[in-house]
Amino acid sequence: MKVLITGSTGLLAKGFEETAPGPQEIVGVHLRSYQAQDSRARHRTLDVRDGAAVERLFSEERFDAVVHAAGIASVDQVEKHPEEGRRSNLGGTLNVARACREHGAYLVYVSTNAVFDGTRPPYAEDSPTSPLHHYGRIKLECEQAAAREAGPHAIVRPILMYGWNHSVNRPNPVTWIYEKLLHGDEVQLVDDVFENPLHNHQCGRALWRILERRPSGLFHLAGADRVSRWELGLKVAETFGLDAALLQRVDSSRFPGIAPRPKDTTFSTWRMQEELGVAPMTLAEGLGQMKAAMGIGV
């Protein structure tokens, strides 16, 4: 199978590449120049906002399937610059979805848990959406655009993701906590915001299962354990043998953001388990895998 993944320097793409089942031809595209750290994918530079460039790529490469994960993902950046967020996310999605239809490629669009307001968890795929900020509203528009403009497709909503990220990328919550504790820094973590965090390898396996089975509709991707960031920090300290006394328990009023944040977007993973056959990983399993991978080229 020849697969395009956009946003290929991100944590999701890294997990997707690392969990590829057998020999696959993966082409990864990203906005800026990037030196690939492994040979799992062939990397190219592409601005998905450029419709002509997207069309040229599809004409040259002839993809069987596409995982579209590119776009500005900073909630506060999009809140400050909503039109920039719209061009990056919605504009790029329209270009990719239309190219998929034109060239007969199956599309998996990567959305977010930010389409929910966090007041009625656990959220299933048919739960009513109610985003609190520009980013969530734009991503919901992207879902609708993908469904309208692409041919055969699925939409996934990954929740808070963790795993070993590329060294050139910003840390995720687990690696950020790990680095802080490793260097003996105190860490303030909120105890009133909840998710069931998703290991990027579990996410990758779910994406490959979707590409193999070609279902339609929505899939929520998440782990087994509902935790606050405070509880997540305790798990990180326990797994890696770090000092949990450095963790300070606070509530979210300590960190007023530019955009409002939902309090609890915990997902139901029933459809992921029943229709894709992907079991949600516990935090102990996911963090244990991260620990086992230390020092072997992560």
Evaluate the CA torsion angle 10, 11, 16, 19 in order and state its sign: positive
3-state secondary structure labels for all residues of 59-115 = HHHCCCEEEECCCCCCHHHHHHCHHHHHHHHHHHHHHHHHHHHHHCCEEEEECCHHH
How far apart, in Å, do the first and last CA atoms of the chain sit? 25
- Fold assignment, 2-164+197-224+266-281: Rossmann fold (3.40.50)
**CA triple 7-10-12, angle to 5 deg:** 95
Cα 8 from Cα 199, distance rounded (Å): 17
Which regions in the chain score pLDDT beneath 50? 297-298
Q: Which residues of 200-233 are buried (b: 16+ CB within 10 A; e: fewer)?
A: bbbbbbbbbbbbeeebeebbbbbbbbbbbbbbbb
Cα 25 from Cα 248, distance rounded (Å): 45
Do 222 and 199 contact (CB within 8 A), yes or no? no
Task: Give me the pLDDT at residue 297, please.
Answer: 46
Task: Give me the pLDDT at residue 39, please.
Answer: 61
Question: Which run of H or E residues covers position 250?
Answer: strand 247-250
Q: Which residues of 84-111 are buried (b: 16+ CB within 10 A; e: fewer)?
A: ebbebbbbbbbbbbbbbeebebbbbbbb
Question: Which run of H or E residues covers position 18?
Answer: helix 11-18
Digit-coded pLDDT (tens) for 119-149: 999 999 999 999 999 999 999 999 999 999 9
Task: Give me the pLDDT at residue 37, please.
Answer: 59
Do 100 and 151 contact (CB within 8 A), yes or no? yes
Do 211 and 266 contact (CB within 8 A), yes or no? no
What residues does each domain of the chain span?
2-164+197-224+266-281
Q: How far is CA 216 from the centre of its chain?
A: 19
Secondary structure (3-state) at 257: coil
Task: Give me the pLDDT at residue 222, please.
Answer: 99
Cα 187 from Cα 244, distance rounded (Å): 10
Total count of residues recorded for the chain: 298
Q: List the beta bridge partners of residue 110.
A: 156
Cα 267 from Cα 290, distance rounded (Å): 23
